[in-house]
Amino acid sequence: MTSDTKIAAKSIAFHTLGCKLNYAETSTLSKSLLQNGFTGKNFNEPADVYVINTCSVTQHADKECAMLVRRVLRQNPDAKVVITGCYAQLKPQEIASIPGVDLVLGAAEKFNLPYHLEQLWHTDATPAAVISCDIHAITGFIPSYSEDSRTRTFLKVQDGCDYQCSFCTIPLARGSSRSNTIDGVLQNINDLYERGVKEVVLTGINLGDFGKTTPGSDSRDTSFYDLLLAIEHNTAMPRIRLSSVEPNLLHNSIIELVAQSNRFMPHFHIPLQSGSDAILAAMRRRYRTELYEKRIATIKQFMPHCCIGVDVIVGFPGETEDHFAETHRFLHQLDISYLHVFTYSERENTLAATMPNAVPQAVRNERNHILRNLSYQKMQYFTAQFAGTSRMVLWEKAEKNGTMSGYTDNYIKVSVPYREDWVNAIVECSIG
């Protein structure tokens, strides 16, 4: 940034839509702007610049972007509005047409935000400036981690995806699979530990595909297992948690490492998407229910106390009542802890959007409701198994109505009367 920009002391506010990876990247963007003379503002306050980091997994996220632009311009009609993230990469011209948007940054340019804001301030962005490139041109990896909470931090170690699931736009929005180096990840974790962070959540678009430092190449010098082993032996971080790992990449060696570790938390999140092999084939998923069931059984064999979360999509094209019943039965009999249920929505430039036999929206919503009820039952059952036992809890700072909350190692949320000396502390507590 120029000295003029710093003297002007512009204020900036950020808003994030979508996944934890987006939140980590927003934190990195925010830090870079604060270091370049901007002052941070809450997104609900008047600011000189508003940056919206978008998601495009669902149609709702697209619509929410336009709504947010209208909202911030009511707060400050003269504000500069910048849109970045997945939606910005996929549909830059569509975003540029939203009244009030000044700048659209694609995937390759979002981390150059300070430079582009400097240019924006000296130009009349009518229409909005669009700075993007072909997704295949993106080859670099930018490490990011969230900084809004000293207790738990989401650390990006991998980006992009080489899979071609028929419903997904992520490869179009984020490019090929690529990773940080193991040394880079260790440095990030050790830096965070020195700053008082007690738990790091490893995140990525396809986390288990860690190891590709050359996008588009199948060759790799390291693997996800190598990364976890290095973290186990070369960091002092007391708690490491894994975000979503594809079942075909969650090898037994990884499960055994987590089971033997005091550092890695007994908690897996494993996307399923459907309990019907016919639908999994249509989705172009790289596994079938038999493999998925084996993964769950292996985890529970080594860690009966382990928490297991599952992603599932309802209403995929061609999903009949019988297919959905298969999914419900499969999930019901699995020893899992909770579900993240997504209602299928058509996305442009995906194979699924061209498939026949679309499921009516009302049916999609009903199936979502059914699986959310199942998720509630699963979590209640899982939690009840530990009533009267003690587990280690990392307590968070937030106070609500005189209480504080935290998560056990196996991801059970507990609450107690607020104690300041417990903030960001790991304490053995009884589960009621």
pLDDT at 148: 65
Q: Give the CA diameter of the chain.
A: 65
Question: Within a 10 A sphere around the Cβ of 60, how many other Cβ atoms?
Answer: 12
Q: When comparing pLDDT for 124 and 378, which is higher?
A: 378
Task: Give the range among 20-34, 186-200, 304-318 with minimum mean pLDDT.
Answer: 20-34
pLDDT class for 8, splitting at 50, 70, 90? low
Are 395 and 378 contained in the same domain?
Answer: no
Are 45 and 123 contained in the same domain?
Answer: yes
Asked if residue 110 belongs to a domain, the reply is: yes
Rounded to whole angstroms, how far apart are CA atoms 38 and 135? 30
Please give the full DSSP string across 409-430, using - where no structure is assigned. Answer: TT--EEEEE--GGGTT-EEEEE
Name 191's Cβ contacts closer than 8 Å, sequence gap at least 6.
none
Rounded to whole angstroms, how far apart are CA atoms 398 and 150? 11
Asked if residue 139 belongs to a domain, the reply is: no
pLDDT class for 7, splitting at 50, 70, 90? very low
Are 123 and 217 contained in the same domain?
Answer: no
Among the candidates 133, 166, 187, a domain finishes at 133
Are 272 and 297 contained in the same domain?
Answer: yes
Mean pLDDT over all residues of the chain? 90
Among the candidates 133, 156, 175, a domain finishes at 133
pLDDT at 93: 87
Going from the C-alpha of 250 to that of each of 214, 271, 339, the distances in angstroms are: 22, 11, 18
Asked if residue 45 belongs to a domain, the reply is: yes
Q: pLDDT tens across 119-172, in order?
A: 887 766 566 788 877 776 677 888 899 876 667 899 999 999 999 999 999 888
Are 244 and 110 contained in the same domain?
Answer: no
Q: When comparing pLDDT for 3 and 46, which is higher?
A: 46
Asked if residue 138 belongs to a domain, the reply is: no
Are 65 and 189 contained in the same domain?
Answer: no
- Domain of 329, in residue numbers: 144-384
Q: When comparing pLDDT for 203 and 138, which is higher?
A: 203
Asked if residue 230 belongs to a domain, the reply is: yes
Asked if residue 156 belongs to a domain, the reply is: yes
Q: When comparing pLDDT for 186 and 173, which is higher?
A: 186
The mean pLDDT of 367-379, rounded to a whole number, is 98
**pLDDT beyond 90 at 284:** yes
**pLDDT beyond 50 at 1:** no
Asked if residue 47 belongs to a domain, the reply is: yes
Are 111 and 223 contained in the same domain?
Answer: no
Are 289 and 164 contained in the same domain?
Answer: yes
**What percentage of the chain exceeds 90 in pLDDT?**
69
pLDDT at 217: 64
Are 54 and 168 contained in the same domain?
Answer: no
Question: Within a 10 A sphere around the Cβ of 35, how many other Cβ atoms?
Answer: 10
Residue 321 structure tokens:
């009542």
Going from the C-alpha of 367 to that of each of 283, 284, 327, 372, the distances in angstroms are: 18, 21, 10, 9
The mean pLDDT of 369-377, rounded to a whole number, is 98
Is the torsion defined by CA of 50, 175, 170, 23 positive or negative?
negative
The mean pLDDT of 166-191, rounded to a whole number, is 94
Question: Within a 10 A sphere around the Cβ of 401, how many other Cβ atoms?
Answer: 6
Asked if residue 63 belongs to a domain, the reply is: yes
Are 286 and 158 contained in the same domain?
Answer: yes
The mean pLDDT of 253-261, rounded to a whole number, is 98
Q: pLDDT tens across 49-99, in order?
A: 999 998 876 566 667 888 999 999 999 999 999 999 888 888 888 888 888
The answer to whether 52 and 82 have CB atoms below 8 angstroms apart is yes
The mean pLDDT of 34-55, rounded to a whole number, is 91
Among the candidates 352, 367, 384, a domain finishes at 384
CATH number of the domain that residue 335 is part of: 3.80.30.20
Q: Are strands 413-417 and 403-408 parallel, antiparallel or unpaired?
A: antiparallel
CATH number of the domain that residue 88 is part of: 3.40.50.2300
pTM, rounded to two decimals:
0.90
Specify the number of domains making up the chain.
3
Residue 358 DSSP code? P
The mean pLDDT of 362-370, rounded to a whole number, is 98
Cα torsion at 301, 302, 306, 309 (round to 10°)? Answer: -70
Are 319 and 402 contained in the same domain?
Answer: no
Are 167 and 118 contained in the same domain?
Answer: no
